Structure 1
Amino acid sequence: MVDFRELRYAPLSGIDRVAGAFESLVRSWEFSSELTGDVINPLQGSGWRGIAAEQAAGGIQKVRTEIDAAFDEASAIALALRDAHTELAGAQADLKAAIQSAADQGLTVDDTGGVHWPPATNPADKKDADYADSYRQKATGVADAIARAVARATAADAAAAAALAADTGANRTSFNAKPLGGQPEEEAKKAADLLRLGDRATEAQVLELNQLVRSHAGDPRFATAFYSSTGPDGFLSSYGALSEFGGYYGSDATKKALLELQGNLGRTLATATDGTKVPHLGDAWQAGLRKAGAAQYQLLPDRLQGGNPYGYQILSNILRTGTYDPHFLNPVVEHVTQLSAQNPGRWEDAVSKANPIGQVFFLGRDGSGINPMSGALEALGHNPAAATKYFHDQATVYDEDGTVKATGQPNTYLKQLTGTGFDSLLQDYQPDHFSPHGKAAPMEAGALGHALEAATTGRAYDATDAPLPPHTPEMAAVMAQVVDRFGNGDGPGLLAKSGLFAGTNGSLGHMTAVYMGDVQAALNPGDNTLPTHGARAALNQENTEKLLGALGRNPDAYGAIAQAQQAYTTAHIQDVMQHRDQYKDLFGDAVRNAARPGGEVAGILTAARTDEVYVRAQAEATAYNDAIDQNGVWAKTVWAITGGKALGNIPGVGPGLSYPVNGFIDSIADAYHIEAHPSDDATVAYDTGKNSAAAAAQAAVVKAGRAAGLEEPYLNTLALSAANETKNGLGDGATLFGRAIHG
């Protein structure tokens, strides 16, 4: 085991040099070609025949076999050494960062890794009970970081030792013909053997298993061989026992490795089930996984285990990590959904026997995650193509054992998942109750939002810096479903602070921001000039109004939508001004028409914010201000898919119009900030929002007009006209909010 001093002071340059030397040897390997060119080819061309020739040929073949084995062994050693250096260097960097963090916080770290804080020196600190508690918390954080770094180094050391031992073998007279590092299938077999140990695996074996899976998670040969070797049933039972026992009774290093292993297994499963890779697991293996997912498992003896979880409960958190082929993922998620619908309480029933210890590693925080819908929806949230297919395409119905029962069935998954009664498909363990009957739980509601965000935007919900693909008709159709569900009937109430699906507000805000063109078009059904990002979503006008009103009450959703509205309106106004010659005498009307829809959106948002912050909860003003700042990315994102595409279209302007993104958008966003005033707070809040939206439209006209060379008197009049039209639209939007929310 690596200790603190060894990791802190170990010179790793030697390992780096040796790894480099072996890599250079492999890259420049010429022994095989030299033997062929200098010996074998001349002999074969000499016409030599007879017993002596046959004996010579046999000897040469042995030499060639040894040379080939030497190459494989050298390649494997190079890989093992490079992996070891990478991991040890990473661990050493982690340790250095932890020690620096200690110094930054006024702590010291001794040569054994102990963390200390300075004693109180003045009377005030000596009497302050929080003095020691504050430093103790800081020291604990540093100590944990040091422990993680040492554990990482220990795992790397153990994995390197095991790999080098397997690579070189025990025979001192010949090279190893089957080194571990050169054969993914052999490494997969070893990993499978380690996994089969289950609750009998030692700390070192868990660390080695994690290292093997982590190193080869993206290799289809390893991944396919690993999961083929265990089989679906063997994998779930072995991993369940390993994580159940090790996660509860194991050392800190074991628990850390198990948490990493969970994600590494997900990436490996994604690789093994990717139909574009060779090799990959076939449909028979995937059907076996569905059957195993619906079965229950006795993982540990009764005295150690509180229940018998379903295979899907063991699999659930593994699915949270990985980029999956929809051909694999969608049948699993559909099957889990249908099993939940048949018996929503089955998941809690399965693990509530006796004294459950919580299946700590394949479930979520504080015992939540008993319902595998949580992990399944999170998987969709990271896999947009699968998410769109799940919510849009016709459903495939599965029997209890996962075999296909019917295809081409109506898709009612969104309706089912947003059910509000007891026996919800999204019920889960919660701190205030543990029963097999309940309503949708916060973790699952958030996961549903993530899945919907991926389905409608075409990118993973947490990949906010990734490009947004144009909306497909399928994505747009899912968005229309979402607007109809949460903007109609009990939908807006479900998004209230105490509503069952309040956890989806952030994702719904992002989705509304990305569909801003469609939102404005819904509020102005006669305006065909409003551009959309790809296929147009046929959003219902009244439901869109109600959804905007509901989301305006949530700071995070409000921040994203307000920023997106501002950017979209700016881009649309500038687009009109870039093509002013096409409008002739109607140019002024075109600018006003471009400004009005954004005003209507701002009006609904402003009215909702006013109602929530000042009438209902004045203390949340800070939350709204922070949300405006934190969601600036959505203004820039929407700008990139609208106005940013046409930056060079104004003659003589070119890329200079990037200024609105970096300057104009940021400065106008500040105007959306609100302050709490002692008198007539609601009026002040409403006026702030109204003036901010108008100022944004006015500034958009001025910036674009000056760049296009318009004369100031004409430009100022045009800009003021756009601002006033925005205010008119905002007033209409506020009226819409009142009608939509208050009746």
Structure 2
Amino acid sequence: MALTFTDLVEVDLGRLANAVSDWKKAVDGLKKSAKSARTGMQGKSDSARWAGVNATVTREFVAKTAKEISDLHTEANSIYQVLEDGHTELESLQKQMKTAVHDDAAKLGIRVEDIGGGRVRCFFPHTRGDTDERTQDQLDSRQELEDRINRILAHAAEIDASVARALAKSHGNDPYNAGHSRYESLNDAEVERALELARKGGKMSDAELRELNQLLRFNSAEKDGEFATEFYQGLGGPEKTLQFYAAMSIDGTGGDASKTRLDAVQDLQKVMGYTLANATDPDHKYHLSDEWGTQFRRLGTQQIGWERGQWNKPYGYQVLGGLLRYGNYDSRFLNPIAEHITQLHKKDPYFFLSNKPTGNPDTYGFNPSGRLGTGNEPLNSVLEALGHSPEAAEKFFSQPPTAYNEDGTLKKDGKLGFDSYVDLLTDKDFEWTADTNSANIFADEDKSKTIMGYGPDALGHALEAATTGLPYGSDAVSPPHSKEAADIFHQLVERYGTDPKDLDDSPLRDSLGHITADYMRDVQAAFMGNGGTVVGTHGAGAHLGDLDVTDNPEGLPPGALKNFLGAVGKDPDAYGAIVTSQESVTTDLVNDAFHNADKYKELAPEIANRVNPGGEIAGIMAESRTQAVVDEKLADDAKFNEGVATADKWAGRIIGMGIGKIPVGGEVAGWVVEDIQESVVENFTRDSSEEALKDRDAFLEQQQTSSAQAIYDATYTAAKEAGYDDTNAQSQATAARREILDSYGLGRQRAGK
């Protein structure tokens, strides 16, 4: 019977705590008894001079009795350890559940209903007169709460089942013989069960595979790495690990696999990846030895088989790549593998594609997720791994490359022919491959374009992690930029600002847009020039230089930044991220100026100086959008509207990095973020009808007006919040709007060159 929501909320864990205390006393008592039996009764028996029947029967009886008392201590200790860990974990989960139900649900006006089967549903109860209409934010909050409660329930059910199973094995169901399975912790019992299931391989039922996934999911993130390490050690080593995962992947992705099985194997890919990342972190108390990385590199170019007489065998890196796609890996484990794979690809881009199973769905193989390739090309897989591993990604792109032999051993004095992986992977002549099981993809232009974009897309994810310090796609506020991360961004701006056409319709642009959004303070500082107010950076600066200076050895070549922005802004997602971050930084700067008004003789010129860069950037973005939609037909204008609507995370993220007087995390910050989000959606969402697109100039002028209005609103709100009366607030906002109208035109000119 499944653990229910009501069980977890209402159970009195104090009774379990009492049981733990009682068993602790029993353990202590039996420990003394076992010692007494061993040193007293058995010691005397062993030293006695027995004769006749006593020499055999009595001595043997005494020895068995002493052992049984020792076994009773072992059994009692196992029960105590399991109960104590179970109580600790269930107590924590119960606390989380009560917070979710009594605090979060109540605050949102949501009711939680137990629907059985270990699940709940969350809903907004109907009240008389209520229209029952909910905003998207409310619906998202409801879904997040429901998912969170169901995860807590699933975890509690796993603990409950593990404790029950461990207690049964400890007792052995034999009242006349103590001391069966021995556990020093609940973790021991969970590892034992996970390995018991894994050894069944493809013979696991769907229910058993789901159970294995739950065990891995809820234990893969343990801070000390004990479960993860013991699980992989229990699989039997690197080669056995690859054989197990390969067999399970094919079992779940083959043509006769059910949808249920495929879903479970896709889940297994994720949880095994998270568990491997935890097990290979050398900073954890428990972790796999460095030999695992060495062996994975050795096996990378060897064919791996798991069935007798198997004909078509994958290479080790094709199998390992499926696991690496999930988890935040330590650089000491991941980077040697990433470098080895990249160097193998450079030497022969088609080395790993010779055995791909053409004609199957892209979910078939060792990347059951099917995201960004089938997994035949391990370069895509390892770039995705770097995209989830910021510290490793930063080192991969910033540190000098290390050469490896084909077998994964270090290549002494090896020459690679490139200085950095940024240079190598952004080279326009770098050869990406078609990582797909589909046949004849080049007969379909749209399909081939998508598939050939998998590699550059994965590269973009890796670069996002390297430059922002966050896994790609994260909504969190990025940590302060390191010098190495900022230098990588500088390299990217220089690379594509010098040759912007290399970004034409490139899948890399959305990631470059996200990176630019994260470095918007550096970008705006460059537009301000040496005569402007220093706006600060988020950590180390990217040294983009001064756009008005042509001789700047520290900065970028003249025109590089504007060219870069113009090329990147042609992507709808990049456009949305950049315009939102620009609005956010400008708002922060304006707020800061109002709160430091006593520093300036006249505030209006300072406000104008601070909003000017935002106007130029808005002008560049407008020109880029128009070129993409009207001139080059690269994207539908509705996609740009969608990019604006889905870029709302950037307002909170940029304000969270703030240098101004907006209190991060405070009530004012919340209102400011909301205002920015609404302003961007309102002012940068445009009429995408064919009629509206006919007049290019009118289209751009409308955007100029909208950009100016957005800054007017931000300035007016900041002035009012700083205590200015309505007349003065309007005056300041009008001056800011005038500045935007002028700088916007300059931005358009720059983008149009």
**How would you bin the TM-score normalised by the shorter chain?**
0.7 to 0.9
- Are positions 1:416 and 2:424 aligned together? yes
Q: Percent identity?
A: 30
Contact 2:74 2:182 in 1 (8 A): no
CA-CA distance at 1:733 after TM superposition: 0.6
Deviation at 1:317, TM superposition (A): 1.8
Following superposition, the deviation at residue 515 of structure 1 comes to: 0.8
The total of aligned residue pairs comes to: 664
Give the equivalent residue in structure 2 for 1:381: 387
Contact 1:180 1:187 in 2 (8 A): no
**Is 1:247 the equivalent of 2:256?**
no
Q: Are residue 731 (structure 1) and residue 741 (structure 2) matched?
A: no
More helix by share: 1
Contact 1:200 1:242 in 2 (8 A): no
Q: Which moved more, 1:361-370 or 1:595-604?
A: 361-370
Q: Deviations over 1:688-714 (max 9, x none)?
A: 221122223333333333344446655
Relative distance call for 1:556 and 1:170 in structure 2 (3 A) is same
The residue aligned with 2:151 is: none
Q: CA 1:215/1:655 → structure 2, altered by over 3 Å: closer, same or farther?
A: closer
The correspondence for 1:336, drawn from 336, 341, 347, is: 341
Q: Is the 8 A contact 2:580 2:650 kept in 1?
A: yes
How far 1:34 moved relative to its partner? 5.8
Match of 1:178 among 171, 176, 181: 181
Q: Aligned equivalents of 1:286 and 1:59: distance in 2?
A: 49
Conservation of the 8 A alpha-carbon contact between 1:168 and 1:179? no
Distance in 2, Cα, partners of 1:11 & 1:719 = 54
Match of 2:436, SS state, is coil
Is the 1:381–1:453 Cα contact (8 Å) retained in structure 2? yes
In 2, are the aligned partners of 1:363 and 1:370 still within 8 Å (CA)? no
Counterpart mapping for 1:176-575 below 5 A: 176-179=179-182, 182=185, 184=187, 188=191, 191-192=194-195, 195=198, 198-199=201-202, 206=209, 209-219=212-222, 220-229=225-234, 230-248=236-254, 249-300=256-307, 307-352=312-357, 359-365=364-370, 368-406=374-412, 411-421=419-429, 424-429=431-436, 431=438, 433=440, 441-464=452-475, 466-489=476-499, 491-496=500-505, 501-502=506-507, 504-526=508-530, 527=532, 529-539=534-544, 540=556, 542-575=559-592
The secondary structure found in structure 2 opposite 1:447 is helix
Q: Aligned partners of 2:6, 2:721: CA distance in 1, in Å?
A: 58
Structure 1 residues 20 and 341, CA gap change in structure 2 (3 angstroms): farther
Distance of aligned partners of 1:278 and 1:190 in 2 relative to their CA distance in 1, 3 Å threshold = same
Alignment equivalent of 1:625, drawn from 606, 617, 641: 641
Report how far residue 206 of structure 1 moved.
Answer: 4.3
Q: Distance in 2 between matches of 1:251 and 1:154?
A: 26
In structure 2, what residue type is equivalent to 1:31? K
Deviations 1:434-493 (A, max 9, x none): 79xx997233222222111111111111221x222111111101111222233332x444
The alignment partner of 2:600 has SS state of: helix
Letter in 1 for 2:423: K
Shift of 1:310: 0.9
Instruction: Say whether residues 1:642 and 2:658 are aligned partners.
Output: yes
Q: Please list the CA deviations of residues 55-84 of structure 1 after superposition, one character each: whole Å capped at 9, or x if unmatched.
A: 999967853541342231354478789999
User: In structure 1, what is the equivalent of residue 709 of structure 2?
Assistant: 695
Structure 2 residue 29 is matched with structure 1 residue 29: no
How far off its partner does 1:364 sit? 4.6
In terms of mean alpha carbon deviation, does 631-640 or 11-20 score higher?
11-20
Partner of 2:106: none
Name the aligned partner's letter for residue 458 of structure 2.
Answer: A
Moved more, 510-519 or 35-44: 35-44
1:566-715 matches, within 5 Å, as: 566-585=583-602, 587-617=603-633, 620-642=636-658, 646-647=661-662, 656=668, 659-663=671-675, 665-667=677-679, 669-676=681-688, 678=691, 681-710=695-724, 715=729
SS of 2:534's equivalent in the other structure is coil
| Structure-2-length-normalised TM-score | 0.76
CA apart distance, 1:232? 0.8
Aligned-partner Cα distance in 2 for 1:12–1:581:
60
- Shifted more, 557-566 versus 703-712: the winner is 703-712
Moved more, 197-206 or 75-84: 75-84
Q: What is the alpha-carbon root mean square deviation over aligned residues?
A: 4.6
Counterpart CA distance in 2 for 1:607 and 1:546 is 12
Using a 3 Å threshold, how does the CA distance of structure 1 residues 152 and 275 change in structure 2: closer, same or farther?
Answer: closer
Q: Aligned letter for 2:560? A: N
* C-alpha distance in structure 1 between counterparts of 2:10 and 2:257, whole Å: 33
Cα offset for 1:608? 1.4
Cα distance in 2 for partners of 1:274, 1:224 equals 10
Q: Which stretch of structure 1 is more off in the superposition, 570-579 or 699-708?
A: 699-708
Give me the whole-angstrom Cα distance separating, in 2, the residues matched to 1:709 and 1:182. 61
Q: Find the residue that maps to 1:477 and give its secondary structure.
A: helix
Structure 1: distance between partners of 2:395 and 2:268: 29
* Secondary structure of 2:411 counterpart: strand
Alignment partner of 1:647: what SS?
coil
**Contact 2:78–2:185, Cα closer than 8 Å, also in 1:** yes
Q: Distance in 1 between matches of 2:423 and 2:437?
A: 23
Contact 1:213 1:265 in 2 (8 A): yes
Q: Which amino acid aligns with 2:176?
A: T
Larger mean CA deviation between 476-485 and 348-357 belongs to 348-357
How far apart, in 2, do the equivalents of 1:162 and 1:275 lie?
32
Does 726-735 or 369-378 show the bigger shift? 369-378
Measured against aligned partners, the alpha-carbon deviations of 1:358-399 in whole angstroms (never above 9, x if no partner) come to 743435529733111222122111111111111111112211
1:614·1:681 contact (CA, 8 Å) conserved in 2?
no
Contact 2:23 2:79 in 1 (8 A): no
1:100 to 1:704, Cα distance in 2 relative to 1, 3 A: closer
Q: Which runs of 5+ in 1 are unaligned?
A: 1-5, 102-150
Measured in 2, the distance between the counterparts of 1:510 and 1:15 equals 42
| Structure 1 residue identity aligned to 2:687 | E
| Runs (5+) with no aligned partner, structure 2 | 49-58, 98-111, 124-153, 443-447, 545-555
Q: Is the 8 A contact 1:394 1:407 kept in 2?
A: no
Which amino acid in structure 2 is aligned with residue 26 of structure 1? V
